Structure 1
């Protein structure tokens, strides 16, 4: 009996992780080609590793690079608009396995893709206090096609997802840390009307570091820092109200918020700056010597700022201008309003062939890498999301609020850029929160979250939650098991078009469920 319990506790999560690893590592080197934006990030990563900054390549360098001629880059700087951390991570894999090896290109993204499955299970365990829901959350991320594809291509967004999720996990850990110590301090202090400011919050330092790493991959990491910074102020205000602090709003904003800011933001900014070390310690990076040009340096009160920092600021301003103004039409661009419904998934790679060509054994063949998610997972998660918006508004449950903040940070800012050229694959940044939302709803069906009926587990003790019955509805476990089983079958069905397997053209057509999926 003890051995069985131990297997359930450790063996089942390990099986989920091994499943995730197998789906992501299988034939990782295919296709042996720079797919989609790998053409930028892989080559940038290799020049970053060799020069300390991203430099240019000859025209039409991809065929030569794919053939193993990886040292044909120049020392001329290249204008890149994303921070360097993600490219440094890609470069580590290339240095380990060789720059001409596609496994090397994709090693770092596949590692963080598997680690993300571990991380979402740890967060689910802390959030839901249920082993069943822990396994379900990990299983959903392990088998979803979008997560699989983004772990198998050397793009930056998988790193954004992972580091942001790391920061969100640290915020979750701080929630209990903060609540326990605030209550303890209030019990020993005289009533000042405001309560104390808590300065020792190590999980906030960890969150600041994680969000700094996120921002060091892509600027969109700043949205997570800002969103969860606001979230922390709200959580502190509600905790003070629950503990009877008289001026709980002003205490949260004027007393604790400055301390929270200093715990969270400086380490994030420092981390971001450190990620640019290669640019600072070399002289060849783009705009590296801009301030040394005639008439370029700042004058007046800011003239004392070192030229390197002036040049860095100019570079960041130019990158920001590029980001907000990017409106170049692309065949796979997708309006953010359509992301949740998976209207226009990104085709990362496609190669058609005829009989005898590239080993094709049918009349016509297809090889595709398409970042379309498992349809049942995505559409069920989207439905769950809309339900959770309603549930948060009505019952103000803290778990729902926490999950929704992940969506706010990862998705909501993109609604400001409806006319910008953006892509469906950006959704990997907030996919974990979609899946946690779906897991929450599954937990309600299975009655795995009994704390929902208790006031101390809600944002407001005044919210009215229906009478709770701890018994699952008849047939609910079977229905959930059948649904998860069918989801796994869909993963098997779609797996070839996620991984570049050569299939008959007719088989590929069976996966085009909407005309916009072509």
Structure 2
């Protein structure tokens, strides 16, 4: 079964078009530079569209949205102290009203997540100050760049600029990714590093295939040498783990995926014992490139804690002698065990917690911000009053379509032996399935923002299958293209309908109630 995930792309999976229409021929003659550079111009255009949505009025609302009450202040502490400090009870109101008089306390505070994501937020605060735009700008930037990366990744994965740009367009109009790109939380940053690692592994796979002869006679002996793109993937996955520990199972899954690709490549090159050859030549370098590099990056992300003297548990070893490790490392390990205990035993009830079974269908989105607006205030002209809300809700039609797309991916992987479907399913499984072991823990559906790019890749591949291959009849491709295009337009229309709830626009209460399609959304 594992072999089916790594089988070479089936013959004809990326067929060249048998001919161009007269419109495309004319376009190629008049604008040859556009045709030559479409592989970059298309993705950049989609990313610019996504950037407008993510940066527009980014400093609004002038408030702490959901867990922004933690991470921006932690980032500011890291920037000025090297470790997360505690804050006065009136810190939130003081920051929003008089940011030049920030009540920072040098006393340490226990923090449940590694520091890298907060360092990313701190870059924006260093440039623009401790206020909403400052702590959101870097998250918006990585959310926008992620759209550009997805377009290029989809293009490489499917061999089609159109499908790559379609996947990126779908992510640009996903409500959950939009909300998490406009909020100073960690999950959007985690998504960026995971997607970057996936892209690096795809490039590494292509470069490796170029080194392996398609029908060699001695694939067992081939040495692939230094693989910088796999090192880059290990670096990105180490960064992911340094944002949140949920990056660890993704690192493990991607490390397994890359060696399975190596095994398939060696079999294709004529190796008589591809598994043995992979274990002999590729497994140890993969472990070093992925796991060891990731571990070094993770420890390095704690540099501020090691270099300072006031961090949480920084001097724990001073009062707990013993062991063979240096005191700072023993103190750091004690801190890690406390983080593990907290993250695996948190059961404090929360109004918007949900079960992972409901996440793919968006059964319980998280209301991150909600304020009533009386008649006559802030432009409210409805006698029944208005409201403003930020709802972390994935665009419903996109997520529901993704459920069918994942079923198609599973079918294509099992029965068509499509390695591309196997790659996407590997990412989906590594991101989604680990959450099912925490049935009693307090968890939220917005964690699935990391899953969004892979859902969009799955939908794009399904849309490509709907259109059909180039050799298909004109009638078949016309009907398939109409159906695929109609689905994309419907998803975009659904996004526009919910846009007021993604960006905290003031709307009448009656309109807000119309948007609550299910009781579980309230």
* TM, length-normalised to structure 2: 0.90
Conserved? CA contact 2:413–2:421, under 8 Å: yes
Structure-2 residue corresponding to 1:227: 253
Alpha-carbon separation, structure 2, partners of 1:470 and 1:54: 62
Structure-2 residue corresponding to 1:350: 370
Conserved? CA contact 2:405–2:462, under 8 Å: yes
Verify: 1:336 aligned to 2:393, yes or no: no
Structure-1 residue corresponding to 2:11: none
Alpha-carbon separation, structure 2, partners of 1:7 and 1:316: 52
Any idea what SS the aligned residue of 2:360 has? Answer: helix
2:112 to 81, 88, 93: 81
Structure-2 residue corresponding to 1:327: 347
Q: Matches of residues 220-259 of structure 1 in structure 2 within 5 Å?
A: 220-259=246-285
Structure-2 residue corresponding to 1:462: none
Structure-1 residue corresponding to 2:456: 435
Alpha-carbon separation, structure 1, partners of 2:129 and 2:30: 43
Verify: 1:155 aligned to 2:195, yes or no: no
In structure 2, relative to structure 1, the CA distance for the partners of 1:470 and 1:262 (3 Å cut) is farther
Q: Matches of residues 28-177 of structure 1 in structure 2 within 5 Å?
A: 28-69=58-99, 71-99=102-130, 101-177=131-207
Verify: 1:490 aligned to 2:494, yes or no: yes
Alpha-carbon separation, structure 1, partners of 2:222 and 2:33: 43
Conserved? CA contact 1:298–1:310, under 8 Å: no
Comparing 279-288 with 484-493, which one deviates more in the overlay? 484-493
Structure-1 residue corresponding to 2:516: 512
* TM, length-normalised to structure 1: 0.90
Alpha-carbon separation, structure 2, partners of 1:361 and 1:32: 22
Any idea what SS the aligned residue of 1:284 has? Answer: coil
Structure-1 residue corresponding to 2:507: 503
Any idea what SS the aligned residue of 1:75 has? Answer: strand
Conserved? CA contact 1:342–1:424, under 8 Å: yes
In structure 2, relative to structure 1, the CA distance for the partners of 1:144 and 1:3 (3 Å cut) is farther
Conserved? CA contact 1:186–1:196, under 8 Å: no
Any idea what SS the aligned residue of 1:349 has? Answer: strand
Any idea what SS the aligned residue of 1:411 has? Answer: helix
Conserved? CA contact 1:326–1:421, under 8 Å: yes
Alpha-carbon separation, structure 2, partners of 1:32 and 1:216: 29
In structure 2, relative to structure 1, the CA distance for the partners of 1:470 and 1:123 (3 Å cut) is farther
- Unaligned runs of at least 5 residues, structure 2: 1-26
Structure with greater contact order relative to length (CA < 8 Å, sep ≥ 6): 2
In structure 2, relative to structure 1, the CA distance for the partners of 1:485 and 1:177 (3 Å cut) is same
In structure 2, relative to structure 1, the CA distance for the partners of 1:241 and 1:45 (3 Å cut) is same
Conserved? CA contact 1:227–1:409, under 8 Å: yes
- Unaligned runs of at least 5 residues, structure 1: 451-467
Q: Matches of residues 348-387 of structure 1 in structure 2 within 5 Å?
A: 348-363=368-383, 364-387=385-408
Structure-2 residue corresponding to 1:218: 244
Measured against aligned partners, the alpha-carbon deviations of 1:455-495 in whole angstroms (never above 9, x if no partner) come to xxxxxxxxxxxxx8475444221222222222222222111
Alpha-carbon separation, structure 1, partners of 2:74 and 2:392: 23
Alpha-carbon separation, structure 2, partners of 1:395 and 1:34: 49
Alpha-carbon separation, structure 2, partners of 1:210 and 1:271: 9
Superposed displacement of residue 186, structure 1? 5.8
1:478 to 482, 498, 502: 482
In structure 2, relative to structure 1, the CA distance for the partners of 1:377 and 1:107 (3 Å cut) is same
Alpha-carbon separation, structure 2, partners of 1:257 and 1:12: 37
Verify: 1:206 aligned to 2:232, yes or no: yes
Any idea what SS the aligned residue of 2:410 has? Answer: helix
Any idea what SS the aligned residue of 1:53 has? Answer: coil
Alpha-carbon separation, structure 1, partners of 2:215 and 2:483: 47
Conserved? CA contact 2:91–2:102, under 8 Å: no
Query: What is the root-mean-square deviation of aligned Cα atoms in Å?
Result: 1.9
Superposed displacement of residue 177, structure 1? 1.5
Comparing 163-172 with 416-425, which one deviates more in the overlay? 416-425
